[in-house]
Structure 1
């Protein structure tokens, strides 16, 4: 059973980051739009190596989500299917599916715009602002997530990622990994 707190976090990720066309479900079209939006954000053009890598990564993530969550095999993942999938994940985050680890790494690399192996507050808040979230709130979320440090590296980010999807602790630093300070 998913608590109201975890459900609010899962709804945030579903609506803010996955249902890009706001249809109420996630499907392949959402990932095509996400590729276009991300490429534009980074200045990547179709045909660029980085564009192709992003496209391959996000299509692999879509296939993973579809195979993990699309219970009725209709080519769409509803909010209920999404929540059920992450509830299963929360029972054993150490056994994350390949696509879940791939998506976490993709988000980390997107946020690490300087490619120095760590995310700082400006990198973090700029990405979330470009996705329509409040930059001031994203900056505050980074502070809570980073727990007073200037940067978050991949190993720390991966732990925070798992914490976001599995933790019931409202004070856990992982709760802030998607740019919000409250749920």
Structure 2
């Protein structure tokens, strides 16, 4: 291991220990910052609220399933189509359990943000434990969603996302190709990092939890800034 990797590992270790100490001492605020809210609202409106009616419902996941299957060439009746349908149904049911606080079959923007605030608080409580792992302190539905998103981006199925795959898929969600490429360069550290499932999960957890505007996970959705 070279000096750069040693320093990087040491830095990660120190940050992890400091976060745990903050959690134990109650210094870390579980409330979502404005920056975190902007990220999460972007996720809500871009990737979840497919019919753009301002709420999440089962219909959004049906539309998302159709879009993904059409993009991937998976026709009704095929194994890929069936598995995607089952996965989206599971994600919606679990997301509804976590976020639909008034049990009306919809998740509003307010419920969405409240769900993430609860998640943030619970994650901080988990971080107070000595052997806590950030990438494991996530809800089951989110873990399934991250795995689905990785599989969607890894179009060749070789276990690694490359810039061409990333640009193609992300641009289907309205992200300019140039922004997608620049975002990939950021979170892959100029192609220095292999974007496999473990690293992708780490980036996703950063996106959902970090309040640091410089965190590389902020770029996983192709957006370069959340200042507006």
TM-score in same-fold range (> 0.5): yes
The equivalent of 1:111 in structure 2 is 153
Q: Does 1:166 align with 2:173?
A: no
The equivalent of 1:48 in structure 2 is 78
User: Which of these residues, 188, 193, 196, is aligned with residue 146 of structure 1?
Assistant: 188
Shift of 1:147: 1.3
Report if aligned partners of 1:69, 1:82 keep a CA contact under 8 Å in 2: yes
User: Which of these residues, 134, 137, 154, is aligned with residue 176 of structure 2?
Assistant: 134
State how many pairs are aligned.
183
Aligned partners of 1:147, 1:6: CA distance in 2, in Å?
22
Aligned partners of 1:55, 1:45: CA distance in 2, in Å?
11
Aligned partners of 2:220, 2:150: CA distance in 1, in Å?
10
1:17 counterpart SS class: helix
Aligned partners of 1:89, 1:105: CA distance in 2, in Å?
19
Report if aligned partners of 1:69, 1:85 keep a CA contact under 8 Å in 2: yes
**Normalised TM-score (structure 2):** 0.78
Report if aligned partners of 1:89, 1:165 keep a CA contact under 8 Å in 2: no
Q: CA RMSD in A?
A: 1.1
Structure with more strand by fraction = 1
Shift of 1:133: 1.5
The equivalent of 2:166 in structure 1 is 124
Deviations 1:28-62 (A, max 9, x none): 00000000000010011011100111111111110
Aligned partners of 2:118, 2:187: CA distance in 1, in Å?
24
**Normalised TM-score (structure 1):** 0.97
The equivalent of 1:182 in structure 2 is 225
Q: Give the 4+ runs in structure 1 shifted more than 3 A.
A: none
Aligned partners of 2:151, 2:95: CA distance in 1, in Å?
20
The equivalent of 1:100 in structure 2 is 142
Structure 1 unaligned blocks of 5 or more: none
1:77 counterpart SS class: coil
User: Which of these residues, 54, 67, 89, is aligned with residue 59 of structure 1?
Assistant: 89
Aligned partners of 2:34, 2:207: CA distance in 1, in Å?
14
Shift of 1:77: 0.3
Aligned partners of 1:90, 1:178: CA distance in 2, in Å?
20
Aligned positions of 1:73-88 closer than 5 A: 73-88=103-118
